Each structure stands twice: as C-alpha cells, then as structure tokens.
Amino acid sequence: MGAEIIDGKAFAAGIRDRVAEEVARLKAAGVAPGLAVILVGDDPASEVYVGHKRKATVAAGMASFEHRLPADVSEADLFALIDRLNADPEVHGILCQFPVPAHLDERRTVARIDPAKDVDGLSVANAGLLATGGDALVSCTPLGCLMLLRDRLGNLAGMEAVVVGRSNLFGKPMAQLLLRENCTVTIAHSRTKDLPDVCRRADILVAAVGRARMVRGDWVKPGATVIDVGITREAHPDKPGKTRLVGDVAFDEAEEVAAAITPVPGGVGPMTIACLLANTVTAACRIHDLPEPDGLTA
C-alpha cells in the first residue's frame, strides 16, 4: 500500500477561502488589504508568477497594485518606488519578484522594504524575529509546508526532522519553524557526510535542493512524512517535445516507503501563493492593530 498523497492544491484552496473571509471581515472594519508586486524586466517565468499572484489577490477581494519597471531601471528609481509603497497606507504587503537584473542587488532590495510589509518574509528583521521566537512574517513556502505538516501530523513535538537544503529563502526558515514546533532538527546539504543515512533518521523529511529525484526511496525512513519542495522541468519521456515537472524526491520509490508524501506538481507549490495572501492579511492586521486570524500564521 502506497503513501497518502498530501493534496496541497486542495489545502491551498481552503487557505484562500479563509483569506477571503478575513478580507471581508477587515473591509467591514474599514481596512482593505492591499498587495503591491514589483516586476523588473520581462523574465517569462516571472511574468507567469506575477499573473498568478494578481489573479489570486483579486479573487480574495484584496487590492492588487502591480508595478512594472524596465530591465535597466536604476537602483535609485527602484528604491524610490519601494519608499513610496512603504509610505502608502493602502499597501500592506510589498513583494519584489526575483530574480532581478544583475545590476540590482536582491539583499539591498529586500532591506529597503518595510519589514512590516515584507510579506515574502525575506528581510533580516523578519529572519531575526523568526530565529528569536518573535512575531515574524514568515517566508511563504516554509509557512505552507508547516501548515501541511500540522494538518497531517498534528503535534510535531519530539519528531526528528531533516531539512535537505540550507537556503535563506527556504532551508533556514523551515528549520527554524520546525524548531519552534519542538522538533529535533538537522539541516543537511551537499557536503553532509553520509547524507542518505542522515535522511533515514527523519520522521519528517523535507527536500529543497533543486536536483531532480536526488532523494531516493531507500533514503526514506519507513512511515516518514516527506515534503518535496523541489521543482525541475525536464523532457517528458513519453511525449516528444513536451516537458514535465519533477521534484527532488524519487516519488515512485519514496511513495512505497513513506506514510505520506507531497507530489510535484500539486503539493507544496499551490501553498506558496496561498500563504502570500495569508501574510498580507496578517500584515494588515498588525499595521492596524487588529486581531489576527487563527491558522494563517506560524
């Protein structure tokens, strides 16, 4: 009998419904949550992502502010826009779609965003709050993974968790969230000795390295819950000229061992935009000193 398939698409739909309810509540209190997205240049993948975010924002009843800048925009002009959005009372969340052109520095760009409106959770201020147990705005993908784990497992305290990947965007905040849930956490990476043995210890195995099917089935502890964050596009073996998305986990192998596993696509991916909307609601509540909704934050 194979593992339970964790349906991130269905769970994310539920989060978006909750967000829409909270947006209606906030509007009744005189607050209309607004999300501003900045897109620099014309990267095709970024165009698609921004389109999805705009559609989801409007569907939830939020105000959507989209700002498109040319690829050769100066840092000064980009920062001037961010400063205006920081001061705009109708904007509660600000997101600059990455990657940006090489002449712009992503860290400096994130640092320019008011931490109270940093709904991507990437600022040093929010990372520090997360690490020290404060009320951070948490990076959207790790937050989505935590929601899926809580829904599947309930209380995570005492479980051994292994996060494969140490990026600032995902690996580190994911580890911090699991620590806050009282897991015993190991962060593994490409230089970890005996990586398969480390993974086999995990009750919760989270893979986020961007290498297709790196985590094999015999790396998975029987009965573990596996969260696959990786997304790689490759040629489809049965459809010439077509491509398909695969994760960091060899799904067919791991499914035979794990108790539960997220698919790619349809697992973690849909949670990211849902949690971006949830973070925008949380930011609006905090900015206006209103009660925060349960179940939409870490």
Residue positions in the annotated binding site?
165-167, 231
Residue set of the binding site for NADP(+):
165-167, 231
Structure-token match 């195995």, residue found: 205
Task: Kindly name the residue from 118, 120, 203, 228 that is annotated as catalytic.
Answer: 120
Beta-bridged to residue 232, according to DSSP, are 246
Measured in residues, the chain has a length of 298
Structure-token match 């809580």, residue found: 150
Please confirm, yes or no, whether 221 is among the known catalytic residues: no
Sheet strands side by side (includes 63-69): 63-69, 34-40, 93-96
Alpha carbons 148 and 7: distance in angstroms, whole number: 9
Six-digit token string for 296: 């939409």
Please confirm, yes or no, whether 83 is among the known catalytic residues: no
Alpha carbons 116 and 36: distance in angstroms, whole number: 13
Task: Kindly name the residue from 97, 117, 176, 248 that is annotated as catalytic.
Answer: 97
Please confirm, yes or no, whether 151 is among the known catalytic residues: no
Q: 205: part of which helix (H) or strand (E)?
A: strand 204-207
Task: Kindly name the residue from 17, 42, 43, 53 that is annotated as catalytic.
Answer: 53
Q: What is the DSSP letter of 237?
A: S
Catalytically annotated residues: 53, 97, 120
